[in-house]
Amino acid sequence: MNNEIKRELSAIVGAGWMLDTPNELHVYSYDATPLYQAMPDAVVMPASVEETAAILQVANRHRIPIVSRGSGTNLCGGTVPTEGGIVLVTNRLNDLHEIDEENLTATFGPGLITAELHAAVEAVGLFYPPDPGSMRISTMGGNVAECAGGMRGLKYGVTKDYIMGLQAVLPSGEVLRFGGKNAKDVAGYDITKLLVGSEGTLAVVTEVTAKLLPLPKAKQTLVAYYNDLTDAARTVQRVIAEKIIPATMEFLDAETMRVVEEFARIGLPLDMKAMLLIEQDGTDAQVEQDILRIAEICRREGATAVRTAETPEEGAKLMAARRAALSALARVKPTTILEDATVPRSHLAEMVEQVGVIAKKYDVQICTFGHAGDGNLHPTCMTDERDQDEIHRVELAFQEIFHAAIKLGGTITGEHGVGIAKAGYLDLKVGAGGIELMKRIKEAFDPHGIMNPGKMFAKDTRRRVVVNTHECGHKHG
Ligand SMILES: Cc1cc2nc3c(=O)[nH]c(=O)nc-3n(C[C@H](O)[C@H](O)[C@H](O)COP(=O)(O)OP(=O)(O)OC[C@H]3O[C@@H](n4cnc5c(N)ncnc54)[C@H](O)[C@@H]3O)c2cc1C
């Protein structure tokens, strides 16, 4: 990118909001996904939709890649600028414009931090359920673009279930609005839903209107410990088969429990094979009744110990420890690769078993935890990117895990998105015809292919790649 273009960008956002020194660019060369890194040519931080549109016009005219970026916490390499270009950071577009208590909606900029939205709506007795583990850092724009899930997905669904309206800027600089506050709206194709989960490959989201719910009055947390992994998985199926839908049903295997205990010191037993962390919310009476029944089912299906948190603080501590699982595992070895193979929950036990068998076959260390109620597992491999032989075996193991998930009627990613990390596996889920159709949709939005190029659609490799490391220097694990 030449200096003339950089001057154009700088004139749009103002001095100080266009970064291009090597140190500054380095910061935006990677995200939370290990093994991927590439340098952008410039980083811009627009403060308005008008500035965003003007940046896109410059990029479109010069055919420069645009990588939208919130907080860079995605786990699919989605914000790595593999083809260089402009990283467009949305952090300044972080205003909470409105909480509409009559229509039960909130409208805000994409840079708003997820947990800040939670706090603001909860202060007036409302509730925005999607709660990715990264919610204290992740932005709502990133949540929308990845269709983020979280621990409350079982009862409340994921981001797409709450996004009612979007303002978005097309690569041409055209600013469009889709959806809005209407509870019902079938005017034409549902572009709002199409943009949710589009991973920055179609447009830049500049404003979001989300649906809110009344804040549940009560909640209770329960933990159940198991000597047998499959008993835990079967409990999940039984609870739901008995028509109870808990807000949260999380699964941790023995190794994850051990590492979380070392990290958080909350008194998890270290001689158990698995645990379920279950939370129910609702009215006092409903919560009490459900928690009693769930405890009964846990015991019946083989739990060796079942404990209900005595105070909300104890419950919150257990949930916080679960949220810290990835950070805890990341301390074990230099490189932590987390995936999110997902199956219909009736196949959860089978999938957990297969992950164990595959890890043994390839002699790699994989811990499994995840949103058991959604069949959404996070097999997490602790490895070392300097050991190329092991990295190769890790890659083969994950390839086999994705194939196993598909065979069980599942998917290659439940909530983390495709990005670069899973681009090579997309055809397993949607087939060649599906990919072709998606590419045609992309072309309609982005005829010059400048929006987050190299993501979603694989070029020619299934292997994880370390991009441009010679330019970037060694990165994280
Ligand atoms: C510890 C940890 C726990 C996590 N737990 C969960 C979890 O429980 N559930 C879950 O689903 N994910 C989880 N994630 C993954 C990640 O946090 C989510 O994908 C999150 O939505 C990313 O938000 P972000 O602001 O960091 O987006 P980024 O990583 O910056 O961007 C993500 C994608 O969105 C695009 N994008 C960002 N902003 C815009 C915009 N305004 N317009 C268009 N495209 C845009 C980017 O180009 C990129 O493709 C976790 C990650 C970590 C590190």
* Six-digit token string for 296: 């009964």
Cβ–ligand 1 distance for 411 under 6 Å, the answer no
Same domain membership, residue 368 and residue 314? no
Same domain membership, residue 232 and residue 207? no
Cβ–ligand 1 distance for 453 under 6 Å, the answer no
Same domain membership, residue 421 and residue 404? yes
Last residue within a domain, chosen from 214, 244, 273: 214
Answer for the pair 36, 464: CB distance below 8 angstroms, yes or no. yes
Indicate if the alpha-carbon torsion angle 226, 154, 214, 282 is positive or negative.
negative
10 Å CB burial of residue 178 (0-12, 13-18, 19+) is buried
- Within-domain flag for 401: yes
CATH number of the domain to which 235 belongs: 3.30.70.2190
Cβ–ligand 1 distance for 167 under 6 Å, the answer no
* Six-digit token string for 36: 């991927």
- Within-domain flag for 464: no
Distance, in Å, from the CA atom of 213 to the CA atom of 215, rounded to the nearest integer, reads: 6
Same domain membership, residue 194 and residue 166? yes
Q: Which residue has a Cα nearest atom 50 of ligand 1?
A: 134
CB burial string 420-447: b at 16+ within 10 A, e below? bbbbbbbebbeeeeebeebeeebeebbe
- Within-domain flag for 77: yes
Cβ–ligand 1 distance for 82 under 6 Å, the answer no
pLDDT digits (tens, 9 = 90+) for 352-400: 889 999 999 999 999 999 999 899 999 999 999 999 999 999 999 999 9
CATH number of the domain to which 44 belongs: 3.30.43.10
**Closest approach atom of ligand 1 to CA 140:** 25
Last residue within a domain, chosen from 89, 112, 136: 89
- Within-domain flag for 477: no
pLDDT digits (tens, 9 = 90+) for 426-445: 999 999 999 999 999 999 99
Q: Which residue has a Cα nearest atom 8 of ligand 1?
A: 132
Cβ–ligand 1 distance for 77 under 6 Å, the answer no
Please report the pLDDT score of residue 130 as a whole number.
97
Domain that holds residue 302: 216-324
For a mutational test of ligand 1's pocket, the pick from 68, 163, 198, i.e. the residue with the most ligand atoms closer than 8 A to its C-beta, is 68
Same domain membership, residue 442 and residue 374? yes
Please report the pLDDT score of residue 29 as a whole number.
97
- Within-domain flag for 369: yes
Q: Are strands 218-226 and 305-308 parallel, antiparallel or unpaired?
A: antiparallel
Last residue within a domain, chosen from 167, 199, 214: 214
Same domain membership, residue 443 and residue 346? yes
Same domain membership, residue 144 and residue 117? yes
Cβ–ligand 1 distance for 71 under 6 Å, the answer yes
Q: Is 145 left (phi over 0), alpha (psi -120 to 50) or beta?
A: alpha
Same domain membership, residue 245 and residue 146? no
Same domain membership, residue 223 and residue 195? no
- Within-domain flag for 184: yes
Please report the pLDDT score of residue 475 as a whole number.
41
Same domain membership, residue 370 and residue 265? no
- SS3 sequence of the chain: CCHHHHHHHHHHHCCCCEECCHHHHHHCCCCCCCCCCCCCCEEECCCCHHHHHHHHHHHHHHCCCEEEECCCCCCCCCCCCCCCCEEEECCCCCCEEEEECCCCEEEECCCCEHHHHHHHHHCCCEECCCCCCCCCCCEHHHHHHHCCCCCCHHHHCCHHHCEEEEEEECCCCCEEEEECCCCCCCCCCCHHHHHCCCCCCCCEEEEEEEECEECCCEEEEEEEEECCHHHHHHHHHHHHHCCCCCCEEEEEEHHHHHHHHHHHCCCCCCCCCEEEEEEEEECHHHHHHHHHHHHHHHHHCCCCEEEECCCHHHHHHHHHHHHCHHHHHCCCCCEEEECCCECCHHHHHHHHHHHHHHHHHCCCEEEEEEEHHHCEEEEEEEECCCCHHHHHHHHHHHHHHHHHHHHCCCECCCCCCCCCCCHHHHHHHHHHHHHHHHHHHHHHHCCCCCECCCCCCCCCCCCCCCCCHHHHCCCCC
Q: Which residue has a Cα nearest atom 48 of ligand 1?
A: 78
Distance, in Å, from the CA atom of 136 to the CA atom of 249, rounded to the nearest integer, reads: 21
Same domain membership, residue 128 and residue 111? yes
Please report the pLDDT score of residue 288 as a whole number.
96
Answer for the pair 108, 131: CB distance below 8 angstroms, yes or no. no
| The total number of structural domains that make up the chain | 4
Closest CA to 465 of 427, 424, 437, 417: 424
CATH number of the domain to which 110 belongs: 3.30.465.10
Give helix 388-407 / helix 348-361 axis angle, nearest 10°.
150
Closest CA to 198 of 420, 15, 431, 417: 417
Note down pLDDT in tens along the chain; length 477 residues.
999 999 999 999 998 999 999 999 999 999 999 999 999 999 999 999 999 999 999 999 999 999 999 999 999 999 999 999 999 999 999 999 999 999 999 999 999 999 999 999 999 999 999 999 999 999 999 999 999 999 999 999 999 999 999 999 999 999 999 999 999 999 999 999 999 999 999 999 999 999 999 999 999 999 999 999 889 989 999 999 999 999 999 999 998 999 999 988 888 899 999 999 999 999 999 999 999 999 999 999 999 999 999 998 889 888 888 888 888 888 889 999 998 989 998 898 899 889 999 999 999 999 999 999 899 999 999 999 999 999 999 999 999 999 999 999 999 999 999 999 999 999 999 999 999 999 999 999 999 999 999 999 976 444 444 444 434 443 443
Tokens 């190769």 found at? 392
Contacts of 368 (CB under 8 A, 6+ apart): 251, 253, 256, 352, 355, 356, 377, 378, 379, 380
- Within-domain flag for 70: yes
Same domain membership, residue 417 and residue 431? yes
CATH number of the domain to which 446 belongs: 3.30.70.2740
- Within-domain flag for 461: no
Phi, psi (rounded to 5 degrees) for 329:
-65, -30
Please report the pLDDT score of residue 471 as a whole number.
44
Q: Which residue has a Cα nearest atom 28 of ligand 1?
A: 72
